[in-house]
Structure formats: structure tokens, C-alpha cells
């Protein structure tokens, strides 16, 4: 199986339903919690959007590789000559397309509830969701062989995602872009050995 075939295999539009629904629920709860205070919602809006995006990304992480491990697909991919690092990079791209992009559009729509500026959130969210996808695939690789990996994946990802959230909320595009490039380079290198240990 080639990298392109693997990418197509993991582009499933249905994967975005639960993260997007959870994200919108987070925004709705935050809107009610803020009450009628528009100034408060404007100040906290970007942080709420980013926090909801991170939490939504955590939902599919623990099961990203579980089906491939249980069915032996991961072993077949390795036998076919695909390096585990390449598999991880392809899965990052697939996760961003199938979950990250829908979350960006949901964020732009949901930002209206919090009186946040959707235009100001667009580019940071596009960059930030790539970084979160890279972290998510790494976390998924680390817990691929574990049956109760949700808590472990959360504990691993949350501290690593803090710089992404800080740069994203602050609108620091250069720092956010640098962090995204760093994670795109290092996360496949960390996920690869973890995947080799599970197969």
C-alpha cells in the first residue's frame, strides 16, 4: 500500500462528527456561562475557541491506530515497505483533513456566539490544527497497543499543546508557524518507534 492509498483510506468524513459536536457544545456552554456580558465573551472568546479545539482533538486520539493494530494492517504496511515515520506523517495529514479542517470551519461559525472575530481566527486555527494533528498522531502511536490509553494520551498531549494554545490565542503567527513546523518534523520521528513497538 502506498502513502497516497493510506491517506485515502483514512479520509473518513464521519470521523469529524463527534469532535465537531463536542466542540460546539463547549462553545454553547461557555456562552451560557458568560451570560449577557458581551465584553467578557469578547475577551475570553479566542481562548475558549482554542481550548474547545484542543479538547475536541483529544477524542479520537486513543483509537487512531487501534483498528490497524488489531487487524494486522500496521504489520502489512511495514511489510510493504512503508516506514513507520511515513505512516505517522500520512496519518497526520489524514487527521488534519478529516477532523482538523471541519473543526476550523466549526470554530469560525461558533466564534460568532462568543463575539470573536472569525477572520482573525482563520489562519491561526489552520496552523494550530496541523500542530494538534501532529501531537494527536504521536499520542495515538504511544497508546496504540493499550486498551485504556485515553488518560495516558491526554496526559501526554496537554502539556505539549500548551505552547500551541498560547501562540494561537495571542495571534503570534510566526511563533505558531515555527511550532507547527517543529512538530511536523519531530512528531513522526517520535511516533515511528512507538508504532514499531506495537507491531
How confident is the model at residue 96, as a pLDDT?
93
The number of folded domains in the chain is 1
Kindly indicate the confidence band of residue 147, based on its pLDDT and cuts at 50, 70 and 90.
low
Predicted model pTM: 0.90
d(CA 139, CA 122): 25
Q: Which of 153, 152, 157, 171 is nearest to 49 (CA)?
A: 171
Q: Which domain holds residue 143?
A: 3-198
pLDDT tens by residue, 156-188? 788 899 999 999 998 899 999 999 999 999 999
Give backbone dihedrals phi and psi of 82, rounded to 5 degrees, phi first: -75, 125
> DSSP labels for 8-65?
HHT--GGGGHHHHHHHHHHHHHHHHHHTT-HHHHHHHHHHHHHHHHHHHHHTTGGGTT
d(CA 91, CA 149): 18
Element (H, E) at 159: helix 150-170
How confident is the model at residue 83, as a pLDDT?
84
pLDDT surpasses 80 at 90: yes
Kindly indicate the confidence band of residue 145, based on its pLDDT and cuts at 50, 70 and 90.
low
Amino acid at each position: 500500500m502506498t502513502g497516497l492509498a493510506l491517506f485515502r483510506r483514512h479520509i473518513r468524513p464521519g470521523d469529524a462528527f463527534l469532535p465537531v459536536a463536542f466542540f460546539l457544545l463547549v462553545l454553547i456552554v461557555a456562552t451560557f456561562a458568560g451570560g449577557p456580558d458581551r465584553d467578557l465573551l469578547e475577551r475570553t472568546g479566542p481562548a475558549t475557541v482554542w481550548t474547545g479545539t484542543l479538547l475536541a482533538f483529544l477524542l479520537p486520539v486513543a483509537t487512531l491506530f487501534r483498528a490497524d493494530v488489531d487487524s494486522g494492517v500496521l504489520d502489512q504496511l511495514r511489510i510493504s515497505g512503508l516506514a513507520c515515520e511515513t505512516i505517522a506523517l500520512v496519518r497526520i495529514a489524514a487527521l488534519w483533513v478529516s477532523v482538523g479542517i471541519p473543526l476550523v470551519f466549526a470554530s469560525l461559525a461558533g466564534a460568532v456566539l462568543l463575539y470573536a472575530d472569525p477572520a482573525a481566527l482563520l489562519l491561526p486555527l489552520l496552523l494550530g490544527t496541523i500542530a494538534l494533528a501532529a501531537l494527536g498522531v504521536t499520542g495515538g502511536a504511544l497508546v496504540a497497543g493499550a486498551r485504556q490509553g485515553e488518560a495516558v494520551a491526554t496526559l501526554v498531549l496537554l502539556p505539549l499543546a500548551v505552547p500551541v494554545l498560547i501562540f494561537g490565542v495571542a495571534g503570534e503567527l510566526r511563533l505558531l508557524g515555527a511550532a507547527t513546523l517543529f512538530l511536523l518534523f519531530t512528531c513522526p520521528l517520535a511516533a515511528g518507534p512507538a508504532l514499531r513497538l506495537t507491531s
